[in-house]
């Protein structure tokens, strides 16, 4: 296999793939830009022979935000059209399929805190970091309390809504008849949590609680503290 080489290229010469299925929120672009500013451009943009981006659209937008003129690229010249399309999806989806070891994650986040390093540069929000460290400090004893959603909670995700209801009480649905858009009703709080987590993975944006306007991460931190009292 021919070794891959890193090739600096002017941003103006790069062309985003019109069929790119991955979305990047403004918040995530800012996070990527912060990471590049702190650690450098460590992950080159992948392109084809014509300068079309195969993977790295988020990194390109972050580079523009930072005012960069050139970015490192790697040319994948050996891929045919089908392989380029497949790799563009695989580059993003395979990363989403990974999980976290809660214990190891807590150790690493605690180490960064002890070193007075800004752990939010890792992409974890302050509230998420507190949740991980609190759970670690409790020895996992409160894992059964880690479900964030409660009955009658209504989460807003962009223009959509998720409502958690008790199976025997459907009145909250009646109150939502005039909602702009209504997508999903769930009787299991844990299922609502999973949907909200998946939404964040896809978009980089947190859902908000309709009743208070708080982000999911902030509500999770608040309710975790309540459970420990």
What domains sit in the chain, N to C, each tagged with a CATH number? 6-96 (3.90.1530.10), 99-146 (no CATH), 147-215 (no CATH)
Contacts of 161 (CB under 8 A, 6+ apart): 154, 155, 176, 179, 181, 182, 183, 184, 210
Which pair of structure tokens corresponds to residue 66? 């930072």
Query: What are the tens digits of pLDDT across the range 165-193?
Result: 876 666 666 666 555 555 577 777 878 88
Six token digits for residue 179: 């909602």
Q: What is the pLDDT of residues 76-106, one digit of tens each?
A: 988 999 999 999 999 988 887 777 888 888 8
Name the token pair of 163.
């409502």
Average pLDDT, integer, range 127-143: 65
């Amino acid at each position: 296999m021919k070794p891959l080489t890193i090739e600096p290229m002017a941003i103006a010469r790069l062309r985003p793939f019109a069929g790119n299925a991955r979305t990047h929120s403004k918040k995530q672009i800012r996070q990527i830009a912060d990471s590049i500013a702190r650690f450098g451009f460590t992950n080159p943009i992948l392109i084809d022979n014509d300068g079309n981006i195969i993977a790295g659209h988020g990194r390109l937008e972050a580079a523009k935000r930072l005012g960069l003129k050139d970015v490192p690229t790697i040319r994948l010249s050996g891929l045919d059209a089908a392989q380029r399309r497949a790799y563009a999806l695989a580059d993003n989806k395979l990363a989403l399929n990974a999980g976290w070891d809660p214990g190891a994650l807590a150790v690493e986040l605690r180490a960064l805190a002890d070193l007075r390093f800004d752990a939010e540069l890792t992409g974890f929000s302050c509230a998420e970091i507190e949740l991980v460290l609190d759970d670690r400090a409790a020895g996992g004893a409160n894992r059964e309390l880690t479900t964030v959603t409660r009955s009658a909670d209504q989460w807003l995700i962009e223009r959509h809504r998720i409502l958690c209801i008790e199976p025997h009480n459907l009145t909250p649905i009646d109150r939502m008849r005039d909602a702009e858009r209504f997508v999903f009703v769930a009787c299991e709080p844990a299922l609502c949590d999973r949907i909200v987590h998946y939404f964040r993975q896809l978009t980089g944006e947190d859902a908000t609680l309709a009743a208070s306007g708080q982000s999911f991460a902030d509500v999770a931190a608040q309710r975790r503290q309540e459970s420990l009292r």
